[in-house]
Amino acid sequence: MALDILEGWQDCAKVLLTSTERRAFLKELRRPGIDNLKRTQICKKINEQCRKAKICPYCNAHNGQIRKPAALKLVHDKYQAYTKSNAKSKVEPAALTAFRSTFDEIKKTNTEVDKHLKKAMDDLNPLRVLNLFKMISPSDCELLGINPAEGRPEMFLWQYVPAPPVCIRPSVAQESASTEDDLTTKLAEIVHISSLIRAALQKGQPLQTIVEQWDYLQLQIALYINSDVPNLQQVGNGKPIRGFCQRLKGKQGRFRGNLSGKRVDFSGRTVISPDPNLGIDQVAIPILVAKNLTYPERVQDHNIKKLRKCVLNGSDVHPGAQHVIKKDKDNGEPGDTISLKFPQVRKRQSQQLTVGDVVERHLEDGDIVLFNRQPSLHKLSIMSHYVKVRPWRTFRLNECVCTPYNADFDGDEMNLHVPQTEEARTEAINLMGVKNNLSTPKNGEPIISATQDFITAAYLLSSKDNFFDRKTFTNYCMYMVDGNEHLDVPPPAILKPQALWTGKQVFSILMRPNKQSPVKVNLDAKCRDYKAKAGMCPDMDPNDGWLVVRNSEVMCGRMDKTTVGSGKKDSIFYIILRDFGPDAAVIAMNRLSKISARYLTNEGFSIGISDVYPSAKLTDRKNELVTKAYEECDDLIRKFKDGKLEKATGCNMEETLENEISGKLSIVRQLAGDYCIDTLSKHNSPLIMAKSGSKGSSINVAQMVAVVGQQIIGGQRVPDGFQDRSLPHFPKNARQPLSKGFVRNSFFTGLTPTEFLFHAISGREGLVDTAVKTAETGYMSRRLMKSLEDLSTQYDDTVRNSSGGIVQFQFGADKLDPVDMEGSAVPVHFDRTWTHAENLTWNNDDRCLLPYEIKIECEKLLANQKSKYARKGLLRQEPLEYLDQSDYAIDELESARDFVATITKYVGGLAEKMAKARMRAGLKDFVDAPKKSNERHDKSKEETARRDQVERVAKVSQATLKMFVSLCLDKYAKAHVEPGHAVGAVGAQSIGEPGTQMTLKTFHFAGVAGMSITQGVPRIKEIINASKVISTPVITCPLLNRVEETAAKVVKGRIEKTYIGDVLRFIEDMWSAKAATMCLSVDMDLLNSMHLGITVGHMANAIVANKKLKIKSNDISLVNDCIFVRITHESGGNMGARGPSSKKLDEPGSDLLLRVNFLRRVLPTLAISGYPDATRAIIQKDKNDEHTVLVEGYGIKACMTTEGVIGTKCTTNSVMECFQVLGIEAARTTIAKEIAGVMGDMGIDPRHMQLLADVMTYKGEVLGITRFGLSKMRDSVLQLASFEKTPDHLFDAAAGMKTDQIEGVSECIIMGQTMGVGTGGFKVVQSLEKPNQPLLVGMKTTQFEDAWRWEQTERKKLR
Amino acid sequence: MATTTDTQLLEENLTITTLDTSKYDRVSRLGATSQDSLTIMTLDINHDLFPVSIGESLHMVLASSLSLDGTKDDGRGWRDLGGEASLADMFDYVCHGKIYKFEDGDGGDTIKAYISFGGLLMALEGPYKKLTPLRVDYVYLLLKK
């Protein structure tokens, strides 16, 4: 029934293949080691082949199409080949004549029949099909992809209706009656009809009734399995029943709802709230929850005292226990479980507690739990925390951890899970612990960092203005340490007239409270609003916008979002994390959150109406600005109405006006905002928040104080919701700012009703956009995850899927983990590492190396590393040159060599700097080692002060260099991706999660009119779906001559289509009695100036080549620059008239006229050059005045071969075309590049996008991240079933007798097994057999006991 | 004026040329040049404690120690400042900080030194001969009018 139609059958029930074909296919199918994917492909081929056969090679019966006229009917259109054929010579097959003649009898009685006779076909009723199936030979079964031993085709037709046990279809008992399950009702119905049929057969009722009932039974059984059978017009009687298919299908179905995700014990959910006093790796759990969630702790000597107390406390008092599970009995049976709910048992159990028992005790401080907030878009949405049991009713967490969860405290709820074994706990805290997830795997940026108030406090505290006396300073210091930390108070910054410490010194203490602490932060970073000023050292920025930290002492710079917040690699906490480990970073963060909370509590930080009160001057200035802008807009509108407005390139008048007005109005807000920011007091709270980056932007401040500004809806000003106007408050066709959504009031002054509405429209648009986006990106994430979930790195550095298919030989081609990238996609930030090494090893007495010494020293330090990367021949292992770049020499160590080379290059840069400094100081530069002895460096000859001068500026000591190189190499080694790492899942999340933040927008090419390319989520969808047709295909053609614009114009002309009409001077028609002649006069100057290389002859050929015009070549003649087309009655063809009615027009005169008119209309639109798939071409001019031709459309092959284009550098953004023309590698590069282009500003590591590109291409063809692509990537029924189309995959699997290896992630989850990625990625293999040794199976000898026994026997012997 | 010991790294008389008090309530940035106008100094000072105005001249000393006998004060710390006589007694405004950075001057003959007194910055630009006694180290700044 649900089986696909088995086509290619005949009455003899043999596969419609000739015996040779048959043998060939069988051989292919029986080839050993063939995988399921291949098998299904062969079966598909067989099916196709059979469908083509018209006559059975065995019984000569006819074969046609099997059709499905109704939902549950199959008919065989046997003589399709005959009825469909138009050939005159067709002969009615004898069988058809015989078939038709069977109707002769009925024709006599019923005249209606004759009409429908042609439609008569062979009915394949279930009984016939069953009998046919039974006749299929076992070898034919194989050809059909069916295992004849296990599942013969007839087994797939139900001959008996299975009824599941009642636990599958429980009846729900209500007070009086009971409700039966859908399945039960359906079964009852089936039984009922069966009995009706049986009765009818016995009574001998008319055939029609029985057939009707039979069909009805068939329908009921179909509904029993699948209640929404396609093509079934069921009368809408309430809700459809839930058949078997419906139970499996969909998000709530068995697969996705119960097998891939399950409801669990030991979990909790409640509202969250903030608590800065908690550590960032802690979560506060209400006592109420702690009493319900338990952890089974095994009783041991060291914890028996504690657990006794727990047992005594019972289940209602907090550090208590729920159950005691006694240890296993002697006979191996599990011990009893004793509930501690009742006070009577507690005391006895407490006393009887013995080592080996298990106590299910309440959660206590220090337990490990998993904490999660939906939507779990990336791995940081579930992290492991340490428990802190606290009173009240909410889960509490440090605000720093809000970012990864994307949590706020407006009523958010979060989930909590308690791992129940020590192994689970260990894995949880080591892999998912907050400490070990401070930076996002997307690109390695810190994601857990100070937020909001913490940033504000840090900003206020680190101001230059803060001076503290000893009491205050030490008080602040004690705020952040727990009181058990030794503090070395630094010397005060100002000693006299009064000992005072500064706010920045507080941060020095925060990073390094005492001299014993190893944390020595070194950092040079720009703050949020730093703007470089020429000629001024950044340190001296008047706004203190440059942060310098030396050995954990803050030299200058104010803390703000970039230096203590998340998302930037210049943050202090990130530096601590990288250089001193996560523990130090966590401690520092905890200190900041404590001092922030307390500092702000003491100082107070609030916002009030006074903060947004504009000064009179500001109001005046704003009014002046707005009035001026209004006048300018009026001016523009007047010009527009008079038609005097100058058109901008590529826009029409109205667009031009809109652009101009929008520009004017946005400037107003900008100016008013800037003025407002400049004039506000530095103690203004909103301004502090905006400047520090903790919340809001300066635009928000300006909106509150000065002017709200233009409201944008769908990228435009407010559209006309009424006739020719946005609201009836305005005159029609008014384009004035006020009527199109400009809000001149501020939030402080209050909005007018119309302004309020416009603002609300704009706000609503944002909300709707977000809602739409979540659904779209959610599905995208799911698809990405399903296709990449089982990719992991292996011990041989390859990236493979779970069936062992290689996707990449090295992850990202360099084996580096994006989470450990310190720079942008590189593992070491050299500048910072150098500064760090310099400050760690600084000693004023160290000798300064000379430039050439630096280079030699660096080579020496790297020699060891380089020797590891010695180049060897791939075939014979012969040593090759280290820098050999020939194809033969390239090997898997290229990336490592490249890294070493970057170190050398950086150190070379230092040597050069030093040489320059020496030159400037008037000393010999010593770039190269001195060759003659008299040139050697002589200290005494150089002026000491000069040498000092160089040393101050560019000193490089040996110790520093050594430290630097070792730091670099360590970081590189540490950045290697670990074997077993689930790179696929991480990659999918890294692409999916930022997708949720993208806006649906299109991007316009700068400087080119009207050329826009799809961006954002729609574009990502196009790429990962591997769509053949994309919305904006663009080919980029770099030119050989980039400077000359004419060269670009020629190329453009050749690519873009040129029509005859473009080069014509005129068309004339000349008439004679029987014929007409059309003269097309070509403007030769124009044609030549286009440099198309086209002559009049070419044009004539183009006209003839167009088959639709039916102009014969001898009807065309060329005279100079004119083309003459002769039109006679004979030249015939399409007369240009449309529709069948024109056929009746026979008058020759009008005929000719029609044709001439038709040609007159059509000929000019005939393309004579240009590429058919290229819509248009555009010349792009970059800032260097260099030109590139951009082609809208397809046809990269033609573009590449165009003269004047550098064919080897042509690119297209259509992945599929790239694949077809340039091959799979080019497609891979295009995918990676295109995704990077769209997600460029999200800062995703390129390795993730390369992995996605590799997954889409590693099978040799471009596979989309859809269910079709997925089914070609891996052959796992369970994985596919848990993705989409669940029942279909299960039916196919049943028919094909498929097996599932249960190796992928989805399958393992469904089966409840350990998956093969991450910590499940390794297996311990022990060989059972060693040469000359017995099998290593069976009981092993014990080392000590046996030795003891042996010694005892020996001793006995001695006695 | 005390004898120049080797703890005194730099001594200079400067005239205040610019003064910016707009940015902070308690801190102002002054610019000053030496009499031979070869040395230029930019300095953040706490003007509550040490009010200055344009045109005033300053006597500035950078010293590695406050002790008069020239011994280094490593380990003694800032707590023991009271009581015994020190270099600070002769000055009105004393800071402690770190020389942390040097840069090339505009010509080949000058260098710039950057010193931070707990965030209060000092930039010195002057002839290399005068500034080379300064090294990356902790330093005392002593000022008087």
pLDDT single digits (tens) A1099-1121? 888 888 877 777 777 778 887 77
Minimum Cα–Cα distance from A681: chain B residue: B23
Pick the CATH number of B8-144 from 2.40.50.140, 3.30.499.10, 3.20.20.140, 2.60.40.1220: 2.40.50.140
Q: How confident is the model at residue A380 (pLDDT cuts 50, 70, 90)?
A: very high
Could you say which of B26, B96, B113 has the minimum Cβ distance to residue A491?
A: B96
A494:B140 CB<8 A: no
Q: How would you list the strands of the sheet with A799-800, edge to edge?
A: A792-793, A799-800, A806-808
Minimum Cα–Cα distance from B130: chain A residue: A945
**C-alpha torsion sign, points A386, A392, A395, A398:** negative
pLDDT value at position B75? Answer: 53
List of chain A residues whose C-beta atoms are within 8 Å of the C-beta of residue B132: 945, 948-949, 952
Q: Is the pLDDT of residue A206 over 60?
A: yes
**DSSP helix/strand/coil, A1081:** strand
What is the rounded average pLDDT of the residues A1161-1172? 82
- Do the beta carbons of residue A161 and residue A184 sit within 8 Å? no
pLDDT value at position A834? Answer: 92
Q: How far is A277 from chain B (nearest CA, A)?
A: 28
- How many beta-carbon pairs under 8 angstroms link A with B? 136
What is the rounded average pLDDT of the residues A344-370? 90
The ipTM of this complex is 0.93
List of chain A residues whose C-beta atoms are within 8 Å of the C-beta of residue B95: 493-495
Cite the DSSP H helix spans in A842-976: 851-868, 894-920, 944-954, 958-974
Q: Is the pLDDT of residue A1089 over 50?
A: yes
A917:B96 CB<8 A: no
Could you say which of B23, B49, B50 has the minimum Cβ distance to residue A542?
A: B23
Q: How far is A706 from chain B (nearest CA, A)?
A: 23
Q: Which fold has domain A616-683+714-751?
A: Topoisomerase I; Chain A, domain 4 (1.10.132)
List of chain B residues whose C-beta atoms are within 8 Å of the C-beta of residue A920: 104, 108
pLDDT value at position A1337? Answer: 64
> Could you give the CA distance from residue A632 to residue A626 in angstroms, rounded to a whole number?
10
| Angle subtended by helix axes A572-603 and A470-480, to nearest 10 | 120
Whether a cis peptide bond, with omega within 30° of 0, leads into A851 is no
At CA A1300, angle to CA A1294 and CA A1306, rounded to 5? 110
A493:B94 CB<8 A: no
What is the rounded average pLDDT of the residues B26-51? 88
List of chain A residues whose C-beta atoms are within 8 Å of the C-beta of residue B113: 952
Could you say which of B44, B108, B131 has the minimum Cβ distance to residue A921?
A: B108
More confident residue, A1295 or A1351: A1351
DSSP symbols for A225-261? H-TT-TT------SSPP--HHHHHSSTTSIIIIIISS
A500:B46 CB<8 A: yes
- Number of CB atoms found within 10 A of residue A748's CB: 15
What is the rounded average pLDDT of the residues B103-121? 85
Domain chopping of chain A, boundaries:
172-248, 264-437, 452-605, 616-683+714-751, 828-974, 1058-1169
- Do the beta carbons of residue A157 and residue A126 sit within 8 Å? yes
B120:A462 CB<8 A: no
Poorest-confidence range of A129-138, A686-695, A1346-1355? A129-138
**DSSP helix/strand/coil, A508:** helix
For A1093-1127, b/e burial (b = at least 16 CB within 10 A) is ebebeebbeebbeeeebebeeebbeeeebebbbbb
Minimum Cα–Cα distance from A913: chain B residue: B104
Q: How confident is the model at residue B70 (pLDDT cuts 50, 70, 90)?
A: low
Q: How far is B5 from chain A (nearest CA, A)?
A: 19
What is the rounded average pLDDT of the residues A160-173? 87
Minimum Cα–Cα distance from B49: chain A residue: A497
Specify the residue for token string 């399409």.
A1134
Looking at domain A1058-1169, its CATH architecture is 2-Layer Sandwich (3.30)
Q: How far is A459 from chain B (nearest CA, A)?
A: 13
More confident residue, A301 or A85: A301
Q: How far is B37 from chain A (nearest CA, A)?
A: 19
What is the rounded average pLDDT of the residues A487-507? 88
Q: Which CATH class is domain A264-437?
A: mainly beta
Render pLDDT for A1197-1227 as a digit per residue (tens, 0 to 9). 888 888 888 889 999 989 999 999 999 999 9
Of chain A, the percentage scoring pLDDT greater than 90 comes to 25
Per the prediction, chain A carries an average pLDDT of 84
> Could you give the CA distance from residue A463 to residue A466 in angstroms, rounded to a whole number?
6
| Angle subtended by helix axes A470-480 and A503-511, to nearest 10 | 40
Q: Is the pLDDT of residue A740 over 50?
A: yes
Distances (CA, A) of A509 to A139, A491, A501: 83, 12, 11
A495:B98 CB<8 A: no
Q: How confident is the model at residue A91 (pLDDT cuts 50, 70, 90)?
A: low
Render pLDDT for A910-939 as a digit per residue (tens, 0 to 9). 988 888 888 888 777 777 777 766 666 666
Domain chopping of chain B, boundaries:
8-144
Nearest to A814 by CA among A439, A1225, A1247, A1254: A1247
More confident residue, A149 or A436: A436
> Could you give the CA distance from residue A271 to residue A409 in angstroms, rounded to a whole number?
8
Distances (CA, A) of A662 to A383, A651, A724, A732: 46, 14, 19, 20
What is the rounded average pLDDT of the residues A19-46? 78
Looking at domain A452-605, its CATH architecture is Orthogonal Bundle (1.10)
A537:B118 CB<8 A: no
Nearest to A1221 by CA among A1205, A1234, A1208, A1204: A1208
What is the rounded average pLDDT of the residues A1160-1187? 81
Q: How confident is the model at residue A170 (pLDDT cuts 50, 70, 90)?
A: confident
What is the rounded average pLDDT of the residues A122-131? 78
Choose the mutation target among A488, A496, A960 for the interface with B, i.e. most B CBs under 10 Å.
A496
Specify the residue for token string 């469909």.
A84
Poorest-confidence range of A75-84, A627-636, A1317-1326? A75-84
Render pLDDT for A807-845 as a digit per residue (tens, 0 to 9). 999 998 889 999 999 888 888 999 999 999 988 988 888
More confident residue, A963 or A135: A963
pLDDT value at position A1143? Answer: 42
Q: How far is A530 from chain B (nearest CA, A)?
A: 15
First to last CA, chain B: 13
> Could you give the CA distance from residue A983 to residue A442 in angstroms, rounded to a whole number?
11
Q: How confident is the model at residue A2 (pLDDT cuts 50, 70, 90)?
A: very low
pLDDT value at position A1288? Answer: 86
- Do the beta carbons of residue A65 and residue A77 sit within 8 Å? yes
What is the rounded average pLDDT of the residues A951-956? 84
> Could you give the CA distance from residue A1079 to residue A1056 in angstroms, rounded to a whole number?
26
**C-alpha torsion sign, points A351, A418, A388, A343:** negative
Give Dmax over CA atoms of chain B in angstroms.
46
pLDDT value at position A1146? Answer: 45
Q: How confident is the model at residue A1141 (pLDDT cuts 50, 70, 90)?
A: very low
Render pLDDT for A271-309 as a digit per residue (tens, 0 to 9). 999 999 999 999 999 999 999 999 999 999 999 999 999
Rg (CA), chain A: 41
List of chain B residues whose C-beta atoms are within 8 Å of the C-beta of residue A548: 100-101, 116
Q: Which residues pair with A1212 in a beta bridge?
A: A1035
Q: Which residues pair with A524 in a beta bridge?
A: A548
> Could you give the CA distance from residue A604 to residue A456 in angstroms, rounded to a whole number?
11
pLDDT value at position A1148? Answer: 47
A467:B26 CB<8 A: yes
Q: How far is B18 from chain A (nearest CA, A)?
A: 13
> Could you give the CA distance from residue A1093 to residue A553 in angstroms, rounded to a whole number?
73
Render pLDDT for A410-435 as a digit per residue (tens, 0 to 9). 999 999 999 999 999 999 999 999 99
Render pLDDT for A523-571 as a digit per residue (tens, 0 to 9). 988 888 888 887 788 888 888 889 999 999 999 989 989 998 888 888 8
**DSSP helix/strand/coil, B10:** strand
Q: What is the DSSP letter of A1205?
A: B
Render pLDDT for B120-142 as a digit per residue (tens, 0 to 9). 999 988 888 888 888 888 888 98
Render pLDDT for A183-192 as a digit per residue (tens, 0 to 9). 888 899 899 9
A465:B25 CB<8 A: yes
What is the rounded average pLDDT of the residues A94-100? 73
Poorest-confidence range of A465-474, A709-718, A1174-1183, B76-85? B76-85
